[in-house]
Amino acid sequence: MILNTCRSTSVGATILALSLLAIVGGEPSRARAQTIAGHTVGEDRSALGSGQRVSLNTPMDGHTTVELSTPGGVKLAATYQDASQKVVQIEVARPRTVPGASGQFGNFKFGQTSLSDIRYRFGSKGLLFGNVLPAAATADGGVAIVSSYEISGTNIVVSFTSKVSPASLTDLKQRFGDDMYSHVETVATLESTVIADADYLKLTRGDDLVYDVGYTPVAWENAIAAANGGRQISLARVSPSQLPVHRMYNGPINAPYFTDASARNFQTRISEGMAAGPTFAGEYAVIPVGCGTGCSIAFAASVRTGEVTRIPVDDEAALYLDLQYQIDSRLLITQSARGEARTCHMQFLTLDDGEWVSLLEHEIGPTESCYNSIAQNLQN
């Protein structure tokens, strides 16, 4: 395992960082149930509450599907077995009136997360059931594509349906002609998410399974919204092994494009950093840039997409900035001096599909503490 820092390279520093996080965050929690809109496969039908509307299209004899509203506005349909009264499948669909609503898995968002993002995150196209086509025409003239994955350590399968709109199909036809279908994954966006008992799916979809090359079961990530609408991640996920990179990018290096105005001032430096290849989170080049005596800012640039993002630190220009990261994890540690507060500050970050999330902040001591590297301060 390779560890990168702006000042030093130390595997021991990673171990010390994890020790610190264990002390602050406590014992890692056990994996929580696969939850969609507050409901889980295997729960009793009574947990669905009242005010349900029974669907006229039940999937098979001996089962009933009910539809119910949710506080977040997503459409939810739950199927339960009549004999046992246990839920065997839960589906949530994209709400038309809530743009960017949670896709109920990690930070997936309805209408925004692309099929390309889903496949890249999991490293494969998933699995196919013998009686179900992977793609089908929709009533409005679009195309729906289903990607299914077993959830590791369970008998549950998660399926993501992505949709290509009729307008997008027309655009692809005009741009690529007969090669249009090789580009649909970039414009197909998340339309619904389903979790279901694997045995139930084999009854309804067939038990002849076909697995894509490179397929592996996936780890479930519950979608957790903070009270202010932001996202929170358990400190138990701070360790590199709990923030893994599912796939290493080894394709061509794309030219940078800049959504951050400050990054445009360092185009040459960023381009040179990207040319050296990824060093963080499987596809990102970490690029620190000096801005004066003791002053630095830093960027993470995706060599896969070209997107450049500013690594967030509290000050506009950090003093004595130190960074610690590795290519096979989404964990990045920053250390910098806060000028006004005259303190040395450490922050633990993760990058989830291009979005920075702060996991933990830790004050080291006075500004002079930042003369030491992250590794040295974690040893103290």
Whole-number Å distance between alpha carbons of 161 and 144: 6
pLDDT for position 358: 78
CA distances in angstroms from 221 to 75, 134, 370, listed in the order given: 20, 24, 35
pLDDT for position 50: 65
Residue type, 182: S
Whole-number Å distance between alpha carbons of 373 and 380: 11
| CA 355 to centroid of chain Cα atoms | 9
Quick one: which H or E segment has residue 22? helix 11-25
pLDDT for position 27: 35
Residue 364 has, within 13 A of its CA and on its CB side, a CA count of 28
Residue 308, φ and ψ in degrees, nearest 5: -115, 130
End-to-end Cα, the chain, rounded Å: 24
Whole-number Å distance between alpha carbons of 84 and 44: 8
Put simply, whether the predicted model's pTM sits higher than 0.85 gets the answer no
User: Using H for helix, E for strand and C for coil, what is the string for 311-342?
Assistant: CCCCCCCEEEEEEEECCCECEEEEEEEECCCC
pLDDT for position 67: 86
Q: Transcribe 2-58 into DSSP letters.
A: --EESS---HHHHHHHHHHHHHHH-SPPPPPP-EETTEETT-BGGGG-S--EE-S--
CB 83 within 8 A of CB 98: no
pLDDT for position 205: 87
pLDDT for position 216: 92
Place of tokens 């993760």: 350
pLDDT along the chain (380 residues), means of 10: 44 39 38 75 85 61 82 78 94 82 87 89 89 88 94 94 93 86 87 95 89 91 50 48 79 86 86 94 92 81 91 73 90 82 81 77 83 79
Dihedral of CA atoms 248, 251, 255, 258 in degrees, nearest 10, equals -30
CB 54 within 8 A of CB 78: no
CB 367 within 8 A of CB 345: no
pLDDT for position 156: 96
pLDDT for position 146: 94
Quick one: which H or E segment has residue 366? strand 355-366
